[in-house]
Each structure stands twice: as structure tokens, then as C-alpha cells.
Structure 1
Amino acid sequence: MTSDNTVDGPPEAPILTDYADGVAQLTLNNPRRKNAITLEMAASIGDFCTRVENDPAIGAVVIRAAGAYFCSGADTRDLASSSADPASPAAVRRTSAVYSAFVRVGMLPVPTISRVVGGAVGAGLNLAMATDLMVVTPDARLESGFLARGIHPGGGHLALLGRAVGWSATIAMATCGVALTGEQAVTRGLAHLAAAEPELDARIAELTAPAAADPELTRRIMNSARLELGPPAVSWSSALEIERGVQMWSMARKGEGAWSSRGPGR
């Protein structure tokens, strides 16, 4: 496995990327606006996803943010421009660009982890939910936020919430203004784990290490997981067939001798 240990973009760039030891990291770098997602940032997220897709040495992705707040959603200046004529081609392009970036994250061929501190709201929560695992601080605030802004949820927000927390909690968050703390999010199944911020990076490193150590196998497992779990999920018998050929490939790669307790060839 190769590692280029590179950081792309000057420190003032709105998106920073880093590639090292089989892990690709993307940092939202717009802390003065609580890392609100601009069109430029959305385009950079798409570029990052393209690199991850095309680099077989990458086995895991971490999405994080500069400053004390993960993401406050789409940039309100873009939302204001779109509200002038929401059905116009320009408005549709703006909203589609932001949400398409999140879909790209959600379809990456490796496990993805969002590192959420402070909070995530609206499209910012969409970005966190697009990842496979959300790692949060106990006091982080996760909220839908669309109703509070007087607009309908977008970007598949209700579907993302629903698959994580179910009908009741989705309705509570989307229509009743209920927010979850990081600890509550773990209890509800929205987040994977909660830890104090100084501990987050170590916990994330524990999660990414196995995937980064064998990117080829990781990517094949992730492909099967997306096929089997969906949405929509497939039947048990279909899952058996999806896994059969890939497991045979992994066994051939391992080889007969590797199963010996005394080591290969013994």
C-alpha cells in the first residue's frame, strides 16, 4: 500500500484534503460561517470523491471540520439567491450541486466517518448522515433545522433520518424541532460513538486502521454491503449469492498455506 502524505490546498482554502497511510481526510475550512457549504466547497467535495474512487490505495475516509462547529448547512447566501426563483435552472443547479456532493460521499467505495463537534444542522446533518459512521462529542447538537428556516427539507433529509432513527424520531426532528445531543444520537443509532473531543482522533484512528491496512478487501466488502443493505435491502438468499463469489476471491487471495496455525507453508 502506498502513501503520499500530501495535503492539498492552501490553509485558507475552503476545503482541505489529506492523503496518508491509506486514509483520505477532507476538512471543511469555513469556520467563520460555521463551515456552511458553498458551491465552491461542494465542487471540491466532488473532486475529493473522484480521487478516492480512483485511488485503490485509499481504504477509509474521514470528513471533519475546522473550528468548533461541524457544519451549519448550505450557505444562506446561496439559499437566498435560489429563493428568488426556486424553479429557475440556476437555482436548481445550485441546490443540486450541494446535494450531489453529499450523495457522492454516501456512495464512496470505502467506509466513511464524519467527525462531528459542536453541531450539524440541515444540509450539514445531511453530510454527516451521508457517511457510514458518525463520531460525535457528547454535547454536539444534531438538528434538522429546515422547519426553523421556513423551508421543506431537501437532499433526501427525511430518508436519511428515517433509515437511522425510524419514523417517530424523524417526525420529531423534522416537524417538532427536536434536537439530539451526541450522546442521544448514539442511543438512537444516528451516531456510532461519542467521545470527548481530545479523544476523537484516536477513536477514529482505531476505526480506520483495519480498513486502511487492506483497501482492496475493504472496497469489496463495502460494495457487497451497499448491494445487500441498500436501501433497498435484499433478501438473505440474494445476499448469499452476492457474497459467494467475493468470498471465493478472498480465500484464493489468502491461499491454503495461510490457514496453518504454524504459518504459511507449515
Structure 2
Amino acid sequence: MTTEGTTNPSASGSGPTRTTSAEADGPAILTSFTDGVARLTLTNPRRKNAINLEMAAAIEEFCDRVADDASVGVVVVDAAGQYFCSGADTRDLASSSADPASPEAVARTSAVYGAFVRVGSLPVPTISVVIGGAVGAGLNLAMATDIMVTTPDAVLDSGFLTRSIHPGGGHLSLLGRAVGWSATIALAACGQSLTGEQAVARGLAYAAAPAEELPALVDGLTGPAARDPELTRRVMTSARLELGPPAVSWASALEIERGVQMWSMSRKGKQAWSSRGPERR
């Protein structure tokens, strides 16, 4: 079944949602909700999908709908064109640099980074599809997802140092939890970058494959999660409680999982375990 509508949870339409950019060059965000899979596509390729305030607001609205729609079991974040995301829109950064301590500047940067936190806090698995590259806040968005898949030659670049600004949006923490201290310092303080293939080796990305193979790879990840959204959401809740940060002890993990596993077994029922019983999950 396919359901598509605006990022407003109370609205619906016949095609993918389009959030129109303030510029006249087309929609800034495209969303769809299909068979348990919610998809958010950045559609600002002329600026390498740089995130502006309008796009950040649309991401927040999309996250609201995902959180409220129990039929959604997994989220995919991708981008139009040949580049995932070049970071925050430099025009917004320039405006903020004029008076960075002003309430307007703080609100501007908080809006962009807050949207990424929402993606990273969703109750379902989130998958980013990085083609071409991800820089700065764009890398934050990719790292905010639970699973990153990429092309082998994509460039993953901290980018803040190049622009002579300090990392923001929890960038160091996001890097650190994925690649550890040394690689974090190499990227954020020493200006190094990783290819998609290197990112997989470092643990920053889950898999790297040619662009034409990524749709099948993503389908293999989304299919099982989307088939049983209720179970998937409960697994994600337990994963966040257990793995943190901070992670809990093994003994605590046993207790976190015990009740939810009993719920899933009760839902399954005794007869479902028999080869002569109902179809097994």
C-alpha cells in the first residue's frame, strides 16, 4: 500500500510531497510514505543540496509525521543529483557570522542542527544514502542516521576546518562514536577526509557500493524493518536504551529486553512455532 502526503501529518495527496523552496528553482524537499518506508530526499542539487532554514523546517515536519505514524517502520534519507549534501547553506552561515552571538544567529544554526537531532532520535531505523560526498553539516546529517551506505569514491569530509570555523551540531561526538579518538582528530582538527570505502573500513559507514547497486542494497535493509513496524520500533527503543551513549551493562540489557521479548512471544503465539500451525513470522 502506498500513502503519500504533505509533511503535515494531517494532510495527504496523490504524489510525493514537495516543499517549495523560497527560490524559484523547484522544491527543496521531497518526501514519500510507501509500504512502511518513509523517504526524505534533499532536492537542492544546484547548491549541492546545502541545507537552508526552510529545508531544516521541512525535515522537522517530516520527522513529526514519522514519529506519529505507527505504520512507518524505516526511514531513508537521500538526495537528488550527484552529491548528498555540502553542509549548511553558506548564505545562512554568512548572515550568522555578521553577529554570531545574536538571538537570530543562534536560532538559525540551532534550527539546522536541531533538524538533524530529530532524524537521529526517530523511533525507527534511519538509513542515509551518500553519493558524491557529505561535508560539514551534511556529514552530520549522514552520521545522524543509524546506517550510512555510500559509493566507494564518495568523499566524507569534516569540512569545518577548511572554512576556518569550529565544528558544530555535535560533530565531534558523532564522529567519535563511529570512528574513535584518532580518526576524529584526523578529520576534524587535521583536515583529513575519508572515501566511502575507507569509511566502511573505519566503521563510519555500513556498506559501499556503486551507485547503481545502492537501491537494491537499501531495499534489502528496509524490507524487513518495514514489514513489522511495531516490532521494529520496539527493537529501536531497546537499542537506544542499551547502546546509549552511554551503554548499559549486560545485566541491565537483559532486563530491558526481557519484557519486550515476552510481548513479542505472546503476540506470536504457541501455534506459530509449529510447522503445522499458522504462517510463522
Shorter-chain TM-score: which interval? over 0.9
**2:196 corresponds to which of 171, 177, 182:** 182
Q: Deviations over 1:151-208 (max 9, x none)?
A: 0000000000000000000000001111000000000000000000011011100100
Distance 1:160 1:185 in 2: 14
Distance 2:3 2:41 in 1: 18
Q: Deviations over 1:15-55 (max 9, x none)?
A: 00011011000000100000000000000000000000000
Distance 2:79 2:256 in 1: 36
Corresponding residue of 1:235 = 249
Distance 1:40 1:171 in 2: 32
- 1:43 paired to 2:57: yes
- 1:20 paired to 2:34: yes
Amino acid at match of 1:251: M
* TM-score (norm. length: structure 2): 0.92
**1:146 corresponds to which of 141, 160, 164:** 160
- SS of equivalent to 1:14: strand
RCO higher in 1 or 2 (8 Å CA, sep ≥ 6)?
Answer: 1
Corresponding residue of 1:56 = 70
Corresponding residue of 2:263 = 249
Distance 2:246 2:94 in 1: 35
Distance 2:133 2:121 in 1: 23
Q: Which runs of 5+ in 1 are unaligned?
A: none
Question: Quick one: percent identity of the two aligned structures?
Answer: 74
Question: Which runs of 4 or more aligned residues in structure 1 lie more than 6 Å from their structure 2 counterparts after TM superposition?
Answer: none
Distance 1:42 1:196 in 2: 29
Deviation at 1:3, TM superposition (A): 3.3
After TM superposition, the structure 1 = structure 2 runs for residues 13-162 of structure 1, keeping only pairs within 5 Å, are 13-162=27-176
Corresponding residue of 2:220 = 206
Corresponding residue of 2:2 = 3
Q: Give the superposed CA RMSD.
A: 1.2
Q: Which runs of 5+ in 2 are unaligned?
A: 5-14, 21-25
Deviation at 1:263, TM superposition (A): 2.4
* TM-score (norm. length: structure 1): 0.97
Instruction: Determine if contact 2:19/2:29 at 8 Å carries over to the other structure.
Output: no
